A and B are shown apart, each in its own frame.
Chain A
């Protein structure tokens, strides 16, 4: 027991970006930070991963857009956002005043659109990097790139050629082999991966004999219910790549976050937990720091589990 604050919380993410601590907030659960700025001290966070930002403004999907499930929630927001021009011209001015690194989540339907978004955002200060959303389950073509390792690699390679900024790729769990997609984006120049986006799910209303959510009836499942699935995905991705892995999925407490570090994460994102408890991300930061100090850890990655090789 050291009792001293000797733990080094910093996370080098690549391209000169160093997160001051590993606790970020997940895209789609924190907007662009402006609401939470009024509720908590967002400058203490390791990073803000913004709402998915698209080439044009989007109104979002018809309601109902959210539905609660056992220990989780489904959402089908449909990437409602003001568009990349507004984010670069207006929001980034605030980001530039903030201490917390802001990583803009970018979502688009084609390679050219991703490149366009990144080029527009590159003109603005205050943006530490990009998180490529190749895994949105709630819009047409949202997962096209995320489901296929070759397509994902080609996309990341092209975007890599368009920007010098740090490039995180958010992986879809709705695939047969998430490790293959992770390897492909690493090989194409991604600086880090975040794992995972939401799982496709459905809630049925029996009396109405139909799904609660409109359109195809499906949405993205998040919350404590997906933590075991996310941990398994993080471990698989960790084993497949050398770049940093950002664990996301079911993190509502410091213990949940620490479990992600054991599974292989270098940093984490707190998502749905922020809805029920706006302070959750800061409580988790305090909790994991206290744990690391009690345990005498030099770095949180010292928690990492080293899996034994599979028997032949």
Chain B
């Protein structure tokens, strides 16, 4: 459950908007409070433009923190992300964060596996560093995308300090890495040794497939980062309901407050797969 007392509404200058291959954009801004407090998997509500359109902020995982700067990775899927991508250095970005519940990083973890589908790469650069800061000696990042150009650049997962980080890639069309799905690579990643945790982020079908692969051989910590159409991002509008198992039944949990990171086995995957993607709303 998120603690809103850690959150702050701050405004800072954009320092960089990088156009990566395949339509991915990485935006970096001076946001000292978020930089000092964000944990991997937590998100910020970013203001997109100054007018009433788009009306609502947009939630983004904190992808990376460098000093007092934070980076976010996205693609242009709607009005909000198009405005963010069009920002220039010196423009002011509004951020409310950190928000939500991030990934569980335990002190005793040695080996962790991350499964990143497409834009699901976003939380993992920060996770790779924070996991190693907490003592993990091996971080395996399994990253899949439709085609090579849409893979998040492997060096951005490791950011200069590659020790202990392995990036394994797959593409649906075989243009780089394994020809197939990222989930095909999970078994190999688990075979490498005792895995303490699996973290996944990506499209719902990929996450559901990941959960299915891990149904019998799950490490102690298995978590997914989910998304939902969000109004406020801090638990008030009750808009971002996700179907979660509670005993034998399914109940709604708020993506922004109880998530976005949820225990993999607690998600009602059939109900989640029946929902339209979050950006539809």
Contacts and interface: CB of A to CB of B under 8 A. Distances in A.
Do A and B make up one complex?
yes
Interface of A: 28-31, 35-36, 38-39, 51, 59-68, 70-73, 75, 77, 80, 203, 205, 208, 212, 223-225, 252, 272, 274-279
In the A-B complex, the 6 residue pairs with the closest CB atoms? A66-B239, A38-B4, A275-B232, A67-B281, A224-B52, A71-B52
A39 B281 contact: no
A30 B238 CA distance: 10
A60 B232 CA distance: 17
A276 B56 CA distance: 5
B269 to A, nearest CB: 15
Nearest to B94: A277
Given A39-B7, A223-B52, A80 B238 contact: yes
Contacts of A274: 232, 236
B80 to A, nearest CB: 9
A60 B254 CA distance: 11
A66 B281 contact: yes
B239 A35 contact: no
A25 to B, nearest CB: 10
B241 A68 contact: no
SS of B interface (majority): loop
B57 A276 contact: yes
A275 B281 contact: no
Given A63-B241, A275-B231, A212 B280 contact: yes
Nearest to B80: A68
21 contacts: A28-B237, A30-B236, A31-B235, A35-B236, A38-B3, A39-B4, A39-B9, A60-B238, A63-B228, A63-B275, A66-B231, A73-B231, A77-B238, A77-B239, A80-B238, A205-B280, A208-B276, A212-B280, A223-B52, A276-B55, A278-B96
Contacts of A203: 281
A36 B4 CA distance: 9
B47 interface: yes
A54 to B, nearest CB: 14
Interface string B93-109: 00010000000000000
Given A39-B4, A278-B234, A65 B239 contact: yes
B242 interface: yes
Given A60-B238, A277-B9, 7 more contacts: A39-B4, A59-B252, A63-B228, A73-B56, A212-B276, A212-B281, A272-B55
Contacts of A275: 56-57, 231-233, 236-237
Given A31-B236, A77-B238, A212-B280, A63 B52 contact: no
Nearest to B78: A68
B251 interface: yes
Contacts of A59: 251-252
B53 interface: yes
B230 interface: yes
B191 interface: no
Contacts of A39: 4, 7, 9, 234
Contact of B240 (A63, A72, A224): A63
B239 A75 contact: yes
Contacts of A36: 236
Interface in B51-85: 52-57
Contacts of B3: 38
A75 B231 contact: yes
Contact of A71 (B53, B96, B231, B243): B53
A278 B4 CA distance: 12
Contacts of A38: 3-5, 7
B260 interface: no
A241 B102 CA distance: 51
Contacts of A224: 52, 55
A132 B243 CA distance: 30
Nearest to B281: A67
Contacts of B56: 68, 73, 275-276
A277 B278 CA distance: 21
B229 interface: yes
A203 B3 CA distance: 33
Nearest to B51: A71
